[in-house]
Structure 1
Amino acid sequence: MKSSDIDQLLNNLQQADEFARHRATSQLWQIWFEQKGEFGLELLKRSQFFLESGDTQKAEEMLTETIKNYPDFAEAWNRRAMLYFTQEKYQNSKQDCERVVQLIPYHFGAWHGLGLCLLALGQYSEAIQAFRQALEIQPYALVNQKLILECTALLN
């Protein structure tokens, strides 16, 4: 997808029109999941299948292998970050989220995930910064606003 198309989707995330925001959000997720074509999408689906069937080890192995073969596949990093987060491996999840935002600085999901990791690690000021980054991209994401308030309260 051309950068002008991505810019338009990012612009749509800023709009008051809820439908435009929802459509842009869905399209960005689709772009991220399909970054490596059908094969990459299939790898993500398989890892999700293992995760849903309770085989987190196999899901992690598949995502790690995918990352090894496609180190620029941001969504593979993001999926593994989510897996680590659910396993309470917050430092590992944080590192994967940081890699995602290096690859795709406008990946609002990874900024949100990074904030959650930092919150879980008790790094409240840094978590606020990550949630603010997510809000810059998706200003209508109320969950990030609420999490900023939560982190601010924990600072006191």
Structure 2
Amino acid sequence: MDSLSINFLLEDLKNPDALVREQATRKIWRLWFQQKGISGLEKIDYSQKLMDAGEIGTAEEVLTKLIQAQPDFAEAWNRRAFLYYSVGNYHKSLDDCQMVVQLNPMHFGALHGMGLCYAALKKYREAIQTFQQALKIQPYSLVNQKLILECTIKLS
């Protein structure tokens, strides 16, 4: 990944212009998905089609094999974290999200996912902290702002 390009895009996430932020977000996701070229992207796309078809176990196998083959492919970990979250396996999802953030500390999607997992596990303080980390990268993220408020209310 071209770190100079990604740094400019990350700065654009802080731009007051919503269109600039939306374009930067799309470009960042594209870079993350394409990190390992067409082969990695095809496997991620295939796993998504399997998930959409309800073939969760097969989708998990595809992603796990991709992770084993390319353990530094952050988006493969992130997609498996999403899969685990979608079936209510919050602990496994959290583990994978943590790996994503270890590989890519600016991965706002994984930070958001971690916050969702913590909230689902009723660990609201941890959820708030994680959503706040995501907001440092995407300060205009209304969903993370809303989730911080919801978690704060649940603490009272």
Specify if TM > 0.5.
Answer: yes
**How many matched pairs?**
156
Q: What CA distance in whole angstroms lies between the structure 1 residues aligned with 2:36 and 2:5?
A: 18
Residue 25 of structure 1 corresponds to 25
Q: Which amino acid aligns with 1:96?
A: D
What residue number does 2:95 align with?
A: 95
1:136 match? 136
Q: CA deviation at 1:7?
A: 0.9
SS of 2:76 mapped into structure 1 = helix
What SS does structure 1 have at the residue aligned with 2:61?
helix
Query: Secondary structure of the equivalent of 2:15?
Result: coil
Cα offsets for 1:51-104 (capped at 9, x unmatched): 111100000000011001100010010000000001100000000000001111
Q: Which runs of 5+ in 2 are unaligned?
A: none
Give ranges in structure 1 of 5+ residues lacking alignment. none
Q: Note the alpha carbon deviations across 1:109-133, whole angstroms, 9 max, x for none.
A: 0000000000001111000011001
How far did residue 3 of structure 1 move? 1.5
Distance 2:40 2:25 in 1: 20
Partner of 1:69: 69
Report the Cα distance in structure 2 between the residues aligned to 1:66 and 1:83, rounded to whole angstroms: 14
Amino acid at match of 1:114: M
- Runs of 4+ in structure 1 deviating by more than 3 angstroms, as ranges, are none
Provide the C-alpha distance between the structure 2 equivalents of 1:89 and 1:6, rounded to a whole number of angstroms.
31
User: C-alpha root-mean-square deviation of aligned residues, in Å?
Assistant: 0.7
Show the counterpart of 1:2: 2
Alignment-mate amino acid for residue 109 of structure 1 = G
Provide TM-score, normalisation by structure 1. Answer: 0.98
Letter in 2 for 1:17: D
Stretch moving more, 1-10 or 56-65 = 1-10
Q: 1:2 offset after TM fit, Å?
A: 2.4
| In 1, Cα distance between equivalents of 2:63 and 2:80 | 6
Paired residue for 1:114? 114
In 2: Cα distance, 1:62 partner to 1:2 partner = 27
Distance in 1 (CA, whole Å) between partners of 2:85 and 2:56 is 12
Structure 2 residue identity aligned to 1:91: H
- Give the letter aligned to residue 74 of structure 2: A
